[in-house]
Amino acid sequence: MSEAVYKRVLLKLGGESLVEEEGDFGLHGNALKNITEEIKAAKDLGVEIAIVIGGGNILRGASLSDIGIERTTGDYMGMLATVINALALQAALEQAGIPTRVQTAIEIQAVAEAYVRRRAVRHLEKGRVVIFAGGTGNPYFTTDTAASLRAMEIGADVIFKATKVDGIYSSDPRVDKSAVKYEELTYIDVLKKGLKVMDSTSVSLCMDNKLPMVIFNVNQKHSIKRVLLGEKLGTTVGA
């Protein structure tokens, strides 16, 4: 077995990774099965994996403002959606034989542990996958920012952002056929060009702490494992 180039990884998953078609809502069995298989293939390399998951497949903040729900309340509702996704992913991973813990930034004692950095690191050291839910626990911060923050806190070597596009493009390749794919970018490139890969707070955090990011298509077979083994998939963002 080849050796992974990273020891500890923070995997950022959007809520859309748990549905089959973009724009769908809810949870789809096939999508859960596929993402579980991808994580298992990566975990079998002996890598420590933490996950931050979004909630867009259950709730989208923009639609809440349309019906008169204020931003702060909508953001807390979104955090609860990420907890639902985290529990679903935990159930799927444990059915696949992967010990998993969910930690939440907002306390929900009946279903998950409260986020404690030292406890999270200990779980990783014991070979458990740790899923961080509830974002940062604060409104006005995205799950992208939560991913960067948790990655720093647990001492991750890299952030993997798993999307449904195979990297960062100059514009949306699904709309603009002339869009150019970037193989490598600096943090400053991403910020200056306004590339919508991660929000600016998240990218700035990574830049300040020299934490690399790899953005790739999670629907490609064993993409997480392949990136771990050093294959050049997607786009790498670094110093």
Return the amino acid letter for 51: I
The CA distance from 211 to 117, in Å, is: 18
CA–CA gap between residue 212 and residue 55 (Å, rounded): 24
**Closest Cα partner for 146 from 67, 225, 57, 75?**
75
Who's near 3: CB < 8 A, 6+ residues apart? Answer: 45, 229
137 Cβ contact list (under 8 Å, min separation 6): 79, 105, 106, 115
Longest CA–CA span in the chain (Å) reads 54
Phi/psi class of residue 127: alpha, beta or left (left: φ > 0; alpha: ψ in -120 to 50)?
left
Residue 208: what pLDDT?
92
pLDDT of residue 62: 67
Contact 158, 9 (CB under 8 A): yes
Confidence (pLDDT) at 81: 95
Distance CA 76, CA 72 (A): 6
Give the per-residue pLDDT at 60. 77
pLDDT of the residue at 204? 92
Helix %, strand %, coil % of the chain (to 5):
40, 20, 40
Task: Give per-10-residue mean pLDDT for the chain (239 aa).
Answer: 87 90 84 93 95 92 83 93 96 97 95 97 97 95 95 96 85 82 89 84 92 90 91 88
Domains of the chain: 8-238 (3.40.1160.10)
Written as six digits, the tokens of 8 are: 């500890």
Helix axis angle for 143-154 and 200-208, nearest 10°, is 20
Predicted TM-score (pTM) of this structure? 0.93
Q: In this structure, are residues 32 and 53 in contact, taking their beta carbons and an 8 Å threshold?
A: no
**Which residue, among 232, 201, 229, has the nearest Cα to 215 in the 3D structure?**
232
